[in-house]
């Protein structure tokens, strides 16, 4: 199960949140963006453990590293879809 949230201000993504769960495991990702779309802070937790940059280098956690360009791309697609649904 995956839940995602996107928070915008004046059409620009400011915050992204993802919560995933599978077979008793849980992952949370929070990413904060400035008004130019540049990430300035992120937080990733795996089963309650806050992951550090060095953790993403390990085989166990390498897939948990946030893919910021992909998040921004998906954000734009969802935003466009939402706007079209309101017309």
* pLDDT tens readout for residues 42-63: 999 999 999 999 999 999 999 9
CB distance 40 to 34 below 8 Å? yes
Which residues lie closer than 8 Å to 48 by C-beta, 6 or more apart? Answer: 26
How confident is the model at residue 1, as a pLDDT? 86
Identify which of 1, 6, 21 has the alpha carbon closest to the alpha carbon of residue 73.
Answer: 6
How confident is the model at residue 76, as a pLDDT? 95
Which residues lie closer than 8 Å to 24 by C-beta, 6 or more apart? Answer: none
Residue numbers in the chain where pLDDT is lower than 70:
none
How confident is the model at residue 87, as a pLDDT? 83
């Amino acid at each position: 199960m995956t839940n995602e949230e996107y928070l915008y201000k004046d059409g620009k993504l400011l915050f992204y949140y993802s919560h995933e769960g599978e077979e008793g495991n849980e992952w949370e990702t929070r990413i904060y963006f400035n008004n130019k779309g540049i990430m300035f802070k992120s937080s990733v937790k795996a089963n309650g453990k806050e992951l550090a940059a060095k953790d993403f280098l390990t085989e166990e956690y390498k897939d948990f590293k946030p893919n910021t360009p992909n998040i921004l791309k998906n954000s734009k697609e969802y935003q466009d879809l939402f706007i079209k649904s309101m017309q």
